[in-house]
Structure 1
Amino acid sequence: MSLRQKTSDYHAHYGFLCDFDSRNIYLFDCPKRRLNKIPNTYDSRELVLGQYYKAEHTVIEERDVEEKFRRNVKFFTADDHELYADTIAVMPNNRPGLEKFQGKIWSQYLGFLRDPQNKFADTMIGDELGWVTVKYAPDGDTVFEITYVVPGCRVQLDDEELIPTPWSREYTEWVPPQNHPSAFIIRNKHKPLTSKQHFVRHAVCIETNKFNPAYNSKHEGSSERCHNLFALNLGMIRSLKPVKIGAWYQHEVNDNRCWKKGNRDLEQYHAVAACKLFQIEAPLPTKVVFGNVKFEVEFPFDHDILESRENRTTIGWFRRQKGMKKDAHFWNKYLGKVEIYPEEAMEIIQKVEKYRRDLLEPFKSEPVTVVGEVVRHRDSYENNKTYPEFGIFSVQNVIGIKDVKGKMINV
């Protein structure tokens, strides 16, 4: 199945429009059989349910799909607000080894389907392809629910149109790539950004009304003040557009080095400015206290990151704290490298060691999650010059720890 997607458009989404509101649109990606929630940076009056779109920041375009695909899944609306689709579905045979799939209905285009009234099982037998009508009704790990099964209809597809079922040996499930946050960071601060690097999916305003280092009094329209945003891939960047402290944005950037030769030697913070800003939901718990932005972040406890094995034998916490690693940190997919100072590192270790003291083996080695309050690093401007060698944020307060089941531990 091909939907004519361009893999080079890494920040674009493709799919059938299933729903939208003032904040988000919901596109169903049939090749990956998943529903994508995307900030609505478009004119909602022009959106059409069931239409196949390519969606980028502020730009959404109708796209065609291949005929062999369109023959086997057809979206339509009822009452102008409910989305349905006619498609092909199948269920497994009742044979040994397939017990976990019993009662499951699967569409090679829409994934697993809910069938609360057993309409498919009452009409079809295992491994037979049949036509069904489904309604868009996301619930849990399913997105569509069967409302009708065409009686007596058996479908035959050419081999090239068949996709292996989850209960077949040939089936491989699409898994999102697991990239370390550092893989996305632009490290050369003096090199003009490429067109792909002009898009920022998540940025947060961490300071407002600061002096603009790129201000030029001789240049009409140059702004003396600016606001500072942070984005994982770029570090700290300026915004000359109005923004709100603690608010998160999706946006693009302008890079003066890309169009003005005289600016080629400028450092990234002086050359790059956010544009086309659109406020989005905060991906992390975020609050503003006395003008300072604070985030609640969870990260796995890693003793080796905080302290060497030799230092753990030191007697007395006063001396032991002095031996904590000076480069302790963790990585967050929104905040990048977050530094941990010795005092907070010691507090984390104390909580974990107290919790594990009375545990039986092998429970002492079970994973522990740390919940911390993160703030802008006191040396953020200097750190930004070499980010991610140094982090833009640091742990200010250790809120607590969670056990392997995610339960907060009282220690």
Structure 2
Amino acid sequence: MEFFGFACEQNEDKIKIFTLEQGMVELEYEGCDPLGKWFDVSDDEIELHPTYSNKEIEVWEEDGEVFAKVLAIGPNMFCLPKDIKEKYSKVAAWSPLLKYLDDETGIFAGIRGNDVVYVVVKYAPWFNGPSVREQGLFKIQEVFEIEEDRYTAYCRQTPWTLEYMGRTLTQSLKPKPNTIAFNQYQKVDDDGFRIGLCIKSSYPNSGFNQELNPSDGSYKFCSLLFTPDYGIVRYTFPVNKPRMVTRTAEAVYDVDSDFTSIDKRIGQWYTFQVTEARSRTKSKKKTDSPAILHSTARKVASANHPRETVVVDEEVELESSFLFDYNMFETESNRLIKNWYARYKGLSRKSHFWDADLGRVEVYPFISMEIIKSIEKHRETLEPSEAELLQKEAIVVVVRTVVHKNFMMNFKNYPMQGVFTAKKLEKICYLDGGRLIPLEKE
């Protein structure tokens, strides 16, 4: 286990270190004056970093107490649905680094909801109630305005915002009627750039026309890119190659060219435009064919994207997440069935969620069953009071997502069927606080 944090408390031969990954961790430590200092913990070793600095948080010790200066934000109750508003009604302030903050003196009460400000907080564990929102480790001491050019976007990914977004993702991410993904027979008329994922590096070109020469823009194979508002887009061959050694010049390694080489395309993110294929004007195909047959990606360039992908057996995989909802998987009457053999038959074959980069993602019954079993088993282990407290808490499900084996067939019916599918259940946790729910394996 590895984590990084700062010391908040010392008791004889032990210190308590606050970490972003693990929260508060207690460790043995024989050194002197650790308070307010940063430590790197790896396995059983602990290393002091006396000169560490981080522009997102300033930590110091004063008269035996630990203080920190961070950005914080409070909820705007006027913009939240009633049930979310009630859930977060007792929240004064929240910090992406220190989580919920106590406003014991009421100094934060004058800050408008959703405004980001600097706060100085003191390490002073507090408890105002049983929920994760009614307890914390730091109390607000001072409030300051921030600089106009200060980056604050990461502070706005608050628990209440994420919960609201999770509920409305289907409405916001489902392709709109004016997009090619919704109606693949619309005219391709696009001047803008978009970001997409390469899902296949070399795949039979559905738009190949054997009557044309490759010089006219028709090739037997192509790469496939996916972007939610266009769906699958062909990225045709040939590609640029790094310059080779000649008698008159040394080889020049071209990073951009390397990223667009065929064998390295899959799993990469690209920016591109979608335009009518060059072969379109010379082809005898009907004009009412779907866009994938007469449009291609142009001006393709590698893109920096924060979402990590891995390639396993020439298939791209990445994590996706969604909020748990019983109604996504089964009817209320099916939920009452005790026997899982019979209950499994009633699980929906059309369960899915919407992902900002992958569009519709299918969730088949074998994954649905594992999700439901894990959550129900967890709830059975809770004390009645805790079960009641957590009953309305939002739960996040994380799955390993892959390209559907019948993705081309599904794409013909997109967005009624997804190009991607959940392959494996990775993690289940509560949205607020991140408490893990053990997975129930067969």
What is the TM-score with the length of structure 2 in the denominator?
0.52
Give the Cα separation in 1 of the matches to 2:201 and 2:109.
54
The answer to whether residue 267 in structure 2 is matched with residue 246 in structure 1 is yes
Give the Cα separation in 1 of the matches to 2:397 and 2:228.
21
Deviation readout 1:221-257 (Å, 9 max, x if unpaired): 2222101111101111110154410001121111249
- 1:229 is aligned, of 200, 205, 225, to 225
- 2:353 is aligned, of 321, 327, 330, to 330
Would the aligned equivalents of 1:300 and 1:368 in 2 still touch at CA under 8 Å? yes
Give the Cα separation in 2 of the matches to 1:363 and 1:112.
29
Map of 1:219 onto structure 2: 212
Map of 1:409 onto structure 2: 437
The answer to whether residue 182 in structure 2 is matched with residue 182 in structure 1 is no
Deviation readout 1:93-127 (Å, 9 max, x if unpaired): xxxx995457x9xxxxxx978799xxxxxxxxxxx
Give the Cα separation in 1 of the matches to 2:430 and 2:295.
42
Query: CA 1:257–1:275 in structure 2 vs 1: closer, same or farther (change >3 Å)?
Result: closer
Would the aligned equivalents of 1:311 and 1:323 in 2 still touch at CA under 8 Å? yes
Would the aligned equivalents of 1:215 and 1:224 in 2 still touch at CA under 8 Å? yes
Give the Cα separation in 1 of the matches to 2:153 and 2:378.
34
Would the aligned equivalents of 2:116 and 2:152 in 1 still touch at CA under 8 Å? no
Give the Cα separation in 1 of the matches to 2:228 and 2:368.
23
Give the Cα separation in 2 of the matches to 1:300 and 1:113.
29
Amino acid at match of 1:269: I
Give the Cα separation in 2 of the matches to 1:267 and 1:231.
16
Would the aligned equivalents of 1:192 and 1:257 in 2 still touch at CA under 8 Å? no
- 1:271 is aligned, of 287, 294, 299, to 294
Would the aligned equivalents of 1:329 and 1:338 in 2 still touch at CA under 8 Å? yes
Can you give the 5+ residue segments of structure 2 that lack an aligned partner in the other structure? 1-105, 121-146, 156-164, 240-259
Would the aligned equivalents of 2:188 and 2:275 in 1 still touch at CA under 8 Å? no
CA apart distance, 1:408: 2.8
Give the Cα separation in 2 of the matches to 1:274 and 1:284.
21
What are the residue-to-residue correspondences of 1:10-409 with 2, within 5 Å?
A: 100-101=109-110, 138=151, 180-184=172-176, 185-186=179-180, 187-195=182-190, 198-220=191-213, 221=215, 222-241=218-237, 242=239, 243=260, 244-256=265-277, 260=281, 264-359=287-382, 360-404=387-431, 405-409=433-437
Amino acid at match of 1:315: K
Q: Identity, % of aligned pairs?
A: 28
Would the aligned equivalents of 1:210 and 1:227 in 2 still touch at CA under 8 Å? yes
What is the TM-score with the length of structure 1 in the denominator?
0.56
Would the aligned equivalents of 2:375 and 2:437 in 1 still touch at CA under 8 Å? no
CA apart distance, 1:407: 3.2
Map of 1:121 onto structure 2: none
Give the Cα separation in 2 of the matches to 1:137 and 1:326.
47
Amino acid at match of 1:264: T
Amino acid at match of 1:235: G
Amino acid at match of 2:436: M
Amino acid at match of 1:406: G
- Match of 2:332, SS state, is coil
Give the Cα separation in 2 of the matches to 1:257 and 1:140.
42
Would the aligned equivalents of 2:337 and 2:343 in 1 still touch at CA under 8 Å? yes
C-alpha RMSD of the superposition: 3.5
Give the Cα separation in 1 of the matches to 2:118 and 2:322.
35
Query: CA 1:407–1:114 in structure 2 vs 1: closer, same or farther (change >3 Å)?
Result: closer
Query: CA 1:250–1:408 in structure 2 vs 1: closer, same or farther (change >3 Å)?
Result: farther
Give the Cα separation in 1 of the matches to 2:357 and 2:350.
20
Amino acid at match of 2:222: C
Amino acid at match of 2:173: P
Task: Give the length in aligned residue pairs.
Answer: 260
